[in-house]
Amino acid sequence: MALPVYASPAQRVWHYFFFILCTAIFIYLLVPIFVIMPLSFNSEPYFSYPMEGYSLRWYEEFFTSDQWLLGLKNSIIIGFFATILATTLGTLAALGLNRADFRGKPVVMAVLISPIVIPIVITAAGMFYFYASIGLSSTMPGLVLAHATLGVPFVVITVSATLVGFDHNLVRAGSSLGANQTRVFFKVTLPIILPGVVSGALFAFITSWDELVVAIFLAGAEQHTLPRRMWSGIREMLSPTITAVATMLILFSIVLMVTMELLRRRTERLRGIRN
């Protein structure tokens, strides 16, 4: 994008205009994230700058509040089990989809991506109606199942992407050396696709971790997750504790994002060596 030496005045004007425009858009993209983080260290319960002083009182409030801690605990438990369920089902399905073409494949694919496509409110309302009729609403297993449903497609997509370059001769080699199917899977296939499986699992976890609408419908007060608790907090009164929670969630997202990027690079590097 460097301006050539022979650029005309009009080109120069356009160049600087374009530069300013892009800077403004990046500020727009990043401002909310970088404004809310310092506010969580404000010693006063206001949302404005300049801040009078710094303190950790809002973090202290979070870690001493039973309601917030319950939310945190529920989010971790639900996220953990939903991730295990989604990753197991999704990885097996991706292996199956990679193995063979069969007649019902479009149907399977349509069902598979429907949780991504169908508006979340419809999903949540449907689950609310159905789970109530089988006694699963306002229960932890209900939320785990619901969140696993939303995470499965991401696992299948991520693992399938890893399988695209998978060399099936490696499986044949393992079999020809006498290993049975299970052993080949754990000793050959899984180590190779592991980065994809881990990325998929992270995807499934963050889907559950950030999910709010299903939690609004399905969670009773005892199952409130962190986002659900935030939602009540924002609607009642916007307290600075929420900015502390938001800051922790942002940092958590950054950690997950960096992990996934490193995994992706590792996969690419491994592929590069093999090619």
Partner 1 sequence: MSATADPTQPTFLSGTNTLKSRLRRADRKRKLWALALIAPMFIFLVVGFIIPIASLLKLSVEDLEVGEALPRTVEAFDAWDGEGFPPPEALEIFAEELVVADANKTLGSATRRLNYAFSGFKSMLKKTGREAEEKLVGVPSDQILDAFIAIDKDWAKPGYWLAIKDAVGPLSDFYFLWAVDRVRDEAGDIVSRPSDQSIYLDVLGRTLEISIAVTAICFLLGLPIAYLLATLPPSKSNLLLILVLLPFWTSLLVRTTAWIVLLQNQGLINDLGILLGFWDEPLELIRNRIGVYIAMVHIQLPFMILPIYAVMKGINPWHMRAAESLGAHRWLAFLKVYLPQCLPGIGAGILLCFILSLGYYITPALVGGPQDQMISFWIVENMGRVLNWGLAAALSVILLGITLIFFFIYNRFVGFDKLRMG
Task: Find the binding residues for partner 1 in span 203-262 (CB under 8 A).
Answer: 203, 206, 209-210, 212-213, 216-217, 227, 230-231, 234-235, 238, 242-243, 246, 249-250, 253-254, 256-257, 260
Is residue 36 part of the contact set for partner 1 (CB under 8 A)? Answer: yes
State which of residues 41, 58, 81, 131 lies at the interface with partner 1 (CB under 8 A).
Answer: 131
**Residue indicated by tokens 């950054």:** 254
- Footprint (CB under 8 A) of partner 1, residues 150-169: 152, 154, 156-157, 161
CB of 272 to partner 1, least distance (A): 16
One-letter amino acid for residue 142 of the chain:
G
Nearest to 234, CA basis, from 223, 222, 246: 246
One-letter amino acid for residue 71 of the chain:
G
In the complex with partner 1, the residue whose CB is nearer, 25 or 56, is 25
Residues in contact with partner 1, total (CB under 8 A)?
88
In the complex with partner 1, the residue whose CB is nearer, 51 or 70, is 51
CB of 266 to partner 1, least distance (A): 16
- CA 182 → CA 92, 168, 222, distances in Å? 12, 15, 41
CB of 120 to partner 1, least distance (A): 6
State which of residues 16, 32, 186, 259 lies at the interface with partner 1 (CB under 8 A).
Answer: 32
Measured CA to CA, the distance from residue 2 to residue 232 in angstroms comes to 49
State which of residues 72, 78, 148, 197 lies at the interface with partner 1 (CB under 8 A).
Answer: 148
Question: Count of H helices and E strands in the chain?
Answer: 12, 0
List the structure tokens of 254.
Answer: 């950054």
State which of residues 69, 120, 140, 194 lies at the interface with partner 1 (CB under 8 A).
Answer: 120
Is residue 51 part of the contact set for partner 1 (CB under 8 A)? Answer: no
- Footprint (CB under 8 A) of partner 1, residues 98-117: 99-100, 102, 108-109, 111-117
Longest CA span, the chain: 74
Measured CA to CA, the distance from residue 256 to residue 155 in angstroms comes to 15
Is residue 13 part of the contact set for partner 1 (CB under 8 A)? Answer: no
For the chain, state the CA radius of gyration. 24
205: buried, middle or exposed (CB in 10 Å: 19+, 13-18, 0-12)? buried
One-letter amino acid for residue 251 of the chain:
L
